[in-house]
A and B are shown apart, each in its own frame.
Chain A
Amino acid sequence: MRLELATYPVKQVQWSSQTCYRDGLLEIDKAELLATVLEDKKIIFADLDLALPGEETRIVNVRDVVEARIKVSGPGCVFPGILGPVETVGDGRTHRLSGMAVVVSATYRPTILSGTAAQNSSLIDMWGPLGKATPFGSTLNVVLVIKLLDGVTELEAHAAIQLAEFKVARRLAETTRELATGETEVFATSEVDPSLPRVVYIDSFLTNWHAPHSLVAYYGLPIRESLPTYIHPNEYLDGALTKDTRIGSGEYTYTWEWMNKGIILRLLREHGKRLNFLGVILQRTRFEAEHGKQVTAACAAQMAKLLKAEGVIVTRTVMSGANLVDVMLTVQACEKRGLKTVFLSPEWGGRDGTEPPFVFTVPEADAMVSTGSTDREYRLPAPKKLIGVKPGELIQLYAGDQWISPSDELTMDDTCLAGTTDWWGAGKYTRVQY
């Protein structure tokens, strides 16, 4: 597998009578894009807005963020299984618009009214403490605001929101198809010096069996009660991993983060230099009985062992105790097989950091990297501009929560804010030992 990823930086975005990209300027024909979005009859309202870094703008009802990419050669398309057929991606050439993101702010009438299967959303500030903490505070954001027809099912809502944002992202990236000037980086896991340490990445993430969508999808297929799966890291870069777009809470992950996953990029860049990157083991977690937890842990560790790994990096998603147990047991199972294992995760710890960071640990987890605390509190000043609601409209972040006024000053947890929970070590926090 060999992927050329060409970057076209966006420095300025403006509305125009045509959609095109030239020398850092992205012009967008709003009417053209909205017509594409409104082809889906489940979408009864659509609008586009811009949210730029430094502006006192708040985006609410955020469901997902995605980067504009398009495949210009090689098999498949970006977002295979969703925007095109299921063809293994990660080969050929892909173009990306960097420095910008497509944010989708969506509302619909939910049918699941409580519990972990219910929809949720988050917010993004383009300035102030949140603007600094989230990666989406420093991207030029093209915000797609949509409202869905009453009566859609939860899965239809997810599919409609996702298709709309992916179509907008694809159209924007399409402007670079004929260009050859982009700065190109090549990602390949070719044969390397056999003496380099062999490293595998276990991408452990939470999925729900009981929700309409499981949270994480591979080639558009929600991953449910599966056992570990071995994949090529380049598949991430072409959008093979996607998410449930009904679930916008900051505690979860965004498509943009899956496409720009720091660990994957770094391991690919170090391949052949400092290490031999063997690939990725996708591991579904949140098994409900100890039996399942033991099986997935043993299976992932055994897969790493069979790949002759010497070092393993393990990460997780979602602040769930059930998933933490599976991941810790995986660390233990790897270490028991003689594989040096590093676990990277944010922690709990309470407001002042004095409460336990984890509810479960194993003695073998002796090399952990903290990516910050999710119990951190943010005080957000009132915005000058709001995107995603009409003036005076209230928002609700989690089903069953109280409705709040997004035009006010707010005090919120890390988990309510898009992009602030750092699952994969790409966040903006600095660690201080004390």
Chain B
Amino acid sequence: MVAIQLGASRVVTGTKIPNPCGDVNLPPENDRELRREIVKCALEALQTNLSGARTFVPKVSFTSG
């Protein structure tokens, strides 16, 4: 939300503010998988042609809060 308002064109939604690319509550192997998905999503975003700002949502689930 904030990134779009500040004018970023390709935004990948992360998890939480203190650790946007991971989830410390997950076991290490699941955390690694989660981080991998987010980075993959970011790489896909870079390869996408845009006509305006867009938010890319990685296919991940994480502990809420």
A positions within 8 Å CB-CB of B: 225, 287-292, 321-322, 325, 359-361
Contact of A288 among B1, B5, B16 (CB under 8 A): B16
A325 near B65 with CB under 8 A, answer no
Whose C-beta in chain B lies nearest to the C-beta of A286? B17
Contacts of B49 in A (CB 8 A): none
Considering the chains assembled together, what is the distance between the CA atoms of A359 and B3 in angstroms?
9
**In whole Å, how far is B26's beta carbon from the nearest beta carbon of chain A?**
14
A292 near B64 with CB under 8 A, answer yes
Whose C-beta in chain B lies nearest to the C-beta of A322? B17
Please provide the 3 A-B residue pairs with the shortest distance between their CB atoms, ordered closest to farther.
Answer: A288-B16, A289-B16, A291-B64
B positions within 8 Å CB-CB of A: 1-2, 5-6, 13, 15-18, 62, 64-65
**In whole Å, how far is A323's beta carbon from the nearest beta carbon of chain B?**
11
19 new A-B pairs (CB below 8 Å) besides A289-B17, A291-B64, A360-B2?
A287-B65, A288-B18, A288-B65, A289-B15, A289-B16, A289-B62, A289-B65, A290-B1, A290-B13, A291-B65, A292-B64, A292-B65, A321-B2, A325-B1, A325-B2, A359-B2, A359-B5, A360-B5, A361-B5
Give the A-B pair count, Cβ closer than 8 A. Answer: 29
Whose C-beta in chain A lies nearest to the C-beta of B15? A289
**In whole Å, how far is A209's beta carbon from the nearest beta carbon of chain B?**
8
Considering the chains assembled together, what is the distance between the CA atoms of A291 and B18 in angstroms?
14
Contacts of A322 in B (CB 8 A): 17
Considering the chains assembled together, what is the distance between the CA atoms of A361 and B6 in angstroms?
10
Contacts of B13 in A (CB 8 A): 290
Contacts of A325 in B (CB 8 A): 1-2
Whose C-beta in chain B lies nearest to the C-beta of A290? B1
Considering the chains assembled together, what is the distance between the CA atoms of A366 and B6 in angstroms?
19
* A–B pairs, 9, beta carbons within 8 Å: A225-B65, A289-B15, A289-B65, A290-B1, A290-B13, A292-B64, A325-B2, A359-B5, A361-B5
**In whole Å, how far is B14's beta carbon from the nearest beta carbon of chain A?**
9
Whose C-beta in chain A lies nearest to the C-beta of B6? A359
Contacts of B16 in A (CB 8 A): 288-289
User: Which residue, B13, B62, B65, has most C-beta atoms of chain A within 10 A?
Assistant: B65
A360 near B1 with CB under 8 A, answer yes
B17 near A288 with CB under 8 A, answer yes
Contacts of B17 in A (CB 8 A): 288-289, 322
Contacts of B1 in A (CB 8 A): 290, 325, 360
A289 near B5 with CB under 8 A, answer no
Considering the chains assembled together, what is the distance between the CA atoms of A288 and B15 in angstroms?
8
Contacts of A289 in B (CB 8 A): 15-17, 62, 64-65
User: Which residue, A225, A288, A289, A361, has most C-beta atoms of chain B within 10 A?
Assistant: A289
Contacts of A225 in B (CB 8 A): 65
Contacts of B5 in A (CB 8 A): 359-361
Contacts of B65 in A (CB 8 A): 225, 287-289, 291-292
**In whole Å, how far is B57's beta carbon from the nearest beta carbon of chain A?**
11
Contacts of A291 in B (CB 8 A): 64-65
Considering the chains assembled together, what is the distance between the CA atoms of A110 and B21 in angstroms?
31
Contacts of B6 in A (CB 8 A): 359
Contacts of A287 in B (CB 8 A): 65
Considering the chains assembled together, what is the distance between the CA atoms of A291 and B17 in angstroms?
12
Considering the chains assembled together, what is the distance between the CA atoms of A322 and B18 in angstroms?
10
Whose C-beta in chain A lies nearest to the C-beta of B14? A289
Considering the chains assembled together, what is the distance between the CA atoms of A264 and B15 in angstroms?
37
Whose C-beta in chain A lies nearest to the C-beta of B63? A289
Considering the chains assembled together, what is the distance between the CA atoms of A359 and B64 in angstroms?
24
Whose C-beta in chain A lies nearest to the C-beta of B18? A288
**In whole Å, how far is B20's beta carbon from the nearest beta carbon of chain A?**
10
**In whole Å, how far is B53's beta carbon from the nearest beta carbon of chain A?**
15
Considering the chains assembled together, what is the distance between the CA atoms of A292 and B62 in angstroms?
13
Contacts of B62 in A (CB 8 A): 289
Considering the chains assembled together, what is the distance between the CA atoms of A382 and B13 in angstroms?
49
User: Which residue, B2, B16, B17, B64, has most C-beta atoms of chain A within 10 A?
Assistant: B17
Whose C-beta in chain A lies nearest to the C-beta of B4? A360
Considering the chains assembled together, what is the distance between the CA atoms of A290 and B17 in angstroms?
9
**In whole Å, how far is A40's beta carbon from the nearest beta carbon of chain B?**
35
Whose C-beta in chain B lies nearest to the C-beta of A225? B65
Contacts of A292 in B (CB 8 A): 64-65
Considering the chains assembled together, what is the distance between the CA atoms of A290 and B15 in angstroms?
8
**In whole Å, how far is B48's beta carbon from the nearest beta carbon of chain A?**
22
**In whole Å, how far is A116's beta carbon from the nearest beta carbon of chain B?**
10
